Amino acid sequence: MSETVSPLAPKKQPRMPAIEGVRIATAQAGIKYKGRTDLLAMVFDEGTTVAGVFTRSKCPSAPVDFCRQNLAGGRARALIVNSGNANAFTGKRGRESTALTAKAAAKAAGCGEGEVFLASTGVIGEPLDTTKFAHLLDGMVAGAGADGWAEAGRAIMTTDTYPKYATARVLLGETEVTINGIAKGAGMIAPDMATMLSFIATDAPIDAPVLQDLLSKGTGKTFNAVTVDSDTSTSDTLILFATGAAARRGAPRITEAKDTRLSAFRRALNRILKNLALQVVRDGEGARKQVEVTVTGAKSARSAKRVALSIANSPLVKTAVAGEDANWGRIVMAVGKAGEPADRDLLGIWFGDIRVAHEGERDPAYSEAATSAYMKRDEIAIRVDLGLGRGKATVWTCDLTKEYVAINGDYRS
């Protein structure tokens, strides 16, 4: 956790309301960090349904494997998250650690181990000493309260400079339901699932398969469209819990993804996913600028996204943005290396509303002064038109500064 808050941090944080059926507790376990909370427990009422999306890494952490296994049951009663240690690449000891944590959590919450979900974030390759915190879970679950969302956001931070929150109220049928989300992530973020960790809860009564459909579809243009440094974490975990408590106030139980009563809820959930994903980008390690990359005129939407990510992940593009240099030659480079259909002589490039390149060469009206002035903003929009078709995509990233190197040069020490 950095002592200096990112200049792109929200000016104010939302007040996170209680979600009926969710209780929260945090603790200081001293896993890596001293003098701050690093352990989170969320306890859910019986009947809570669950959905999840996880890293596409071929070297996933032990908690990711554990969650995938439990997701099939579709029910959740407890979530335990630790920061400071990812419990990744820890072999048999890692699996033993998740088993011990799950057993302690299940005992504390009075549920089966198949209803427990786990997440860990921090250093890869260091064994996670469960004895540092397993004994705390009884007391945490017993003392958990409905108003702990702000503390939850802080407990899961690693190199983040601020906690990330989002909330929404929306009608399901004629009954108001609430959605709350928290996230952490600042580095090792690439669009192959969410951020490193994100947890969302609602009191809406939605069956697990419908919840999974909402979440899987919602990540495509949100968490799967952000990149800080092109590196996919071993630990990426996004879990959505629905307690169903609003049914007691008249909310209809949703059993089909096609149910038209879901439309407002789906839009609100997608807004929360995008809000949290952009907060992760804005807290990219050492970031000073948010960068939106839009590619139009591609052969397909998939092709457009690949070109956009080639631009967004280019260290040369990102360092140029950090240096406030409108070096569109680097964008040409990133388009050309993407391995997707492109025609040099049809290419158009914009910084904001300023067209800098047209039909494969520098725009005749190009103004270095106007473009340099634009590059001083803290939000930069880059648009590329390939002139080949109707495919389009937008992704978000941040600049690459000296601070990124400083943070990651001594991360383990």
Find the catalytic residue in 121, 161, 195, 371: 195
3-state DSSP: the chain helix, strand, coil percent, rounded to 5? 35, 25, 40
Residue 296 annotated among the catalytic residues of the structure: no
Secondary structure (3-state) at 316: helix
CB 150 within 8 Å of CB 182: no
Give the DSSP letter string of 12-80: SPPP----TTEEEEEE---SS-SSS--EEEEEE-TT-EEEEEE---SS--HHHHHHHHHHTT-B-SEEE
* Encoded tokens for 231: 């590196």
Q: What burial letters (b/e) apply to 276-309, b meaning 16+ CB within 10 Å?
A: bbbbbbbbbbbbbbbbbbbbbbbbbeebbbbbbb
Antiparallel, parallel or unpaired: β 164-172 and 49-54: unpaired
Q: What burial letters (b/e) apply to 136-153, b meaning 16+ CB within 10 Å?
A: bbeebbeebeeebbbbbb
User: CA 28 to CA 295: how far, in whole Å?
Assistant: 45
Q: Give the Cβ contact number of residue 345 at 10 Å.
A: 8
User: CA 379 to CA 376: how far, in whole Å?
Assistant: 9
Strand pairing partners for 71? none
The set of catalytic residues is 195
